[in-house]
């Protein structure tokens, strides 16, 4: 399925479906109906059934859809693989909260490196991650082929750090700052729900030949 081109609407909905399904699996559920998905995502059940038919995903009458099979299909569509590597820029209060956001790991997103420019916290460990000096940012990104970054810096530094991320080869920026940032068209900037947006943007990375 990864070679097919899907509309923006389909990719956005699949991202919502996948998030809900992973949460269901996490609590031990094995099957799900289109009505269940509709109730959680607020997407019309008829549209959900139409998506599943168009994606050639079949369920069993009276039972619904196998959750593992759905997750596998949606992961293929989005190009989502386990253990997607991220970097976090900003190790202040916001950055610390993000590092402790366990749901990222549940969805296969791992913050591998943390950067900051504050000498007082560089070298210290936060949630078992050592804070690195931002001067090493570009080298780490290139050496580890990282394409996704979480931005959690001060308002005054947001655009400057964004420019550095773009220069270093980052393709997706999850903006946790309270100010808008600008980047070239080939860089995807996301705000709001980080999980859903990360799942969403994986499709575009996987279909432009970008690897994690």
Closest-CA residue to 135 (of 115, 160, 163, 113): 115
| pLDDT higher than 80, residue 64 | yes
Complete domains list, the chain, with CATH: 8-78 (1.10.10.10), 84-206 (3.40.50.720)
Cα–Cα distances (Å) from 136 to 66, 106, 111, in that order, read 45, 28, 16
pLDDT tens digits along 101-136: 777 777 778 899 999 999 999 999 999 999 999 999
Whether pTM > 0.85 for this model: the answer is: no
Confidence at residue 79, expressed as pLDDT on a 0 to 100 scale? 75
């Amino acid at each position: 399925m990864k070679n097919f081109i899907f509309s923006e609407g389909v990719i956005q909905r699949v991202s919502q479906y996948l998030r809900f399904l992973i949460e269901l699996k996490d609590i031990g559920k094995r099957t799900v109906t289109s009505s269940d998905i509709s109730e959680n995502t607020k997407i019309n059940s008829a549209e959900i059934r139409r998506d599943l038919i168009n994606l050639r995903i079949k369920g069993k009458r009276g039972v619904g859809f196998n959750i593992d099979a759905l997750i596998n299909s949606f992961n293929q569509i989005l190009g989502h693989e386990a253990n997607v590597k991220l970097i976090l820029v900003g190790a202040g209060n916001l950055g610390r909260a993000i590092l402790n956001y366990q749901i990222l790991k549940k969805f296969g997103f791992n913050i591998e490196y943390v950067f900051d420019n504050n000498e007082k916290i560089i070298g210290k460990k936060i949630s078992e991650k050592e804070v690195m000096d931002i001067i090493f940012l570009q080298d780490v990104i290139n050496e580890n082929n990282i394409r996704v970054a979480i931005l959690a810096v001060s308002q005054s530094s947001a655009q400057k750090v964004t420019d550095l991320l773009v220069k270093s080869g980052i393709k997706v920026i999850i903006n946790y700052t309270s100010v808008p940032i600008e980047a070239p068209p080939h860089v995807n900037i996301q705000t709001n729900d980080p999980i859903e947006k990360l799942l969403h943007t994986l499709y575009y990375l996987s279909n432009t030949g970008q690897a994690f």
